């Protein structure tokens, strides 16, 4: 709705990501960021939790910055019904009058939040890589890659409230847990909000055959600088020796050198490992948005002007087919010493 019809006194809302009945870690990331935004505005953080009934209360959210948790439990929330969840979140927004609403850019967030934005008549910026408060206007600055990842756009919502955005998991760090007071409220909702035409016939978790690279401490990624798909054999071997996983740039995935689950970047996965190695990747904006929060970035590229070097902690300028085999040889040698 237009700002003239709302006051935004309800602070910052975060819509929690619930998987298999548990609060997912991306919710803690976003709650930590919400705390930072709320502090700069002198306001509060409320986390909205929609889930099936459970024995435990989500009090761990207070450790990461929440002041209040709005807990809605109903057996009908066990599976995703986007319209039902959107109606509930929209009702809580109408009652709570938040200034900002955030959600992870997951399957749930991308499905539910657009419907919420339509119901409360405001805008939504998807897949943000940066959030901050404008010192002069107090508006939420929502930054995301645009035009195919070639530029970074900063978007404002000056005329409507709430300001809404989704954020890719692993974009922001989780704040160190800190004891703080908080309250859990269980809102009473109209039964009509739960009306649904969706019938869930089955709900299964399909296991993949490879580890999710978002969960790893080390990710080694290859780009078109490999020149041929067989080059990923070197990337896999280096990743194996480092107990890490294999990532890939968008061009290599589009060329079908690697499968989509390995793609790092705004159009793939955002990773934040302890060590990220980029071999033969120039550093397009959309790729940098997917890995620049890694603790240590090691870039290997023969072009000294490659954009990847601007964010690298260690820059190795040279032919990856010379550098990577030498790294593998050195790691093999060190491993051999450990087993002697």
Ramachandran bin of 17, using left for φ above 0, alpha for ψ from -120 to 50, beta for the remaining angles:
beta
The response to whether 221 counts as a known ligand-binding position is no
Whether residue 162 has a cis bond before it, omega within 30° of 0? yes
The response to whether 4 counts as a known ligand-binding position is no
- For 112-137, b/e burial (b = at least 16 CB within 10 A) is bbbbbbebbebbbbbbbbbbebeeee
| Residues recorded for the chain | 340
The response to whether 263 counts as a known ligand-binding position is yes
CB 149 within 8 A of CB 286: yes
> Which positions ≥6 away from 261 have C-beta within 8 Å?
208, 210, 212, 213, 269
The response to whether 301 counts as a known ligand-binding position is yes
CB 155 within 8 A of CB 125: yes
Residue 47: strand pairing partners: 14, 69
The response to whether 241 counts as a known ligand-binding position is no
The response to whether 285 counts as a known ligand-binding position is yes
Residue 143 tokens, joined: 């930054």
The response to whether 266 counts as a known ligand-binding position is yes
The response to whether 20 counts as a known ligand-binding position is no
The response to whether 308 counts as a known ligand-binding position is no
The response to whether 265 counts as a known ligand-binding position is yes
The response to whether 150 counts as a known ligand-binding position is no
Ramachandran bin of 318, using left for φ above 0, alpha for ψ from -120 to 50, beta for the remaining angles:
left
CB 327 within 8 A of CB 238: yes
The response to whether 225 counts as a known ligand-binding position is no
Half-sphere exposure of 250 (CA within 13 A, CB side): 18
Q: Is 45 exposed, middle or buried (0-12, 13-18, 19+ CB in 10 A)?
A: buried
Residue 291 tokens, joined: 């890995």
Annotated binding residues, as ranges?
249-250, 263-267, 280-287, 301
Annotated binding residues for FAD, as ranges?
249-250, 263-267, 280-287, 301
């Amino acid at each position: 709705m237009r700002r003239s019809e709302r006051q935004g006194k309800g602070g910052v809302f975060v819509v929690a990501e619930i998987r298999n009945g548990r609060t997912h870690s991306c919710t803690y990331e976003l709650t930590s960021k919400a705390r930072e935004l709320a502090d700069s505005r002198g306001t509060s953080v409320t986390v909205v939790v929609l889930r099936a009934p459970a024995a435990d209360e989500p009090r761990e959210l207070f450790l990461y910055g929440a002041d209040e948790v709005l807990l809605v439990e109903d057996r009908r929330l066990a599976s995703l019904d986007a319209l039902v969840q959107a109606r509930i979140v929209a009702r809580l927004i109408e009652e709570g009058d938040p200034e900002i609403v955030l959600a992870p850019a997951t399957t749930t967030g991308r499905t539910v939040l657009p419907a919420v934005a339509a119901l409360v008549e405001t805008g939504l910026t998807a897949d943000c890589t940066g959030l901050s408060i404008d010192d002069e206007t107090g508006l939420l600055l929502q930054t995301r890659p645009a035009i195919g990842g070639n530029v970074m756009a900063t978007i404002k919502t000056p005329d409507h409230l709430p300001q809404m955005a989704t954020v890719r998991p692993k974009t922001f760090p989780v704040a160190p847990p800190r004891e703080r007071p908080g309250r859990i409220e269980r809102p009473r909702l109209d039964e009509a909000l739960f009306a649904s035409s969706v019938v869930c016939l089955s709900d299964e978790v399909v296991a993949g055959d490879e580890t999710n690279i978002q969960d790893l401490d080390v990710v080694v990624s290859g780009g078109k600088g490999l020149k041929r798909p067989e080059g990923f054999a070197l990337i896999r071997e280096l990743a194996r020796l480092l107990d890490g996983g294999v990532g890939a740039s968008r061009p290599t995935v589009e060329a079908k050198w690697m499968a989509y689950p390995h793609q790092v970047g705004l159009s793939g996965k955002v990773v934040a490992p302890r060590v990220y190695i980029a071999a033969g990747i120039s550093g397009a904006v959309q790729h940098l948005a997917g890995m620049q929060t890694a603790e240590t970035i090691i870039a290997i590229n023969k072009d000294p002007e490659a954009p990847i070097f601007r964010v690298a902690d260690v820059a190795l300028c040279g032919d990856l087919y010379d550098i990577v085999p030498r790294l593998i040889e050195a790691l093999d040698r060190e491993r051999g010493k450990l087993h002697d």
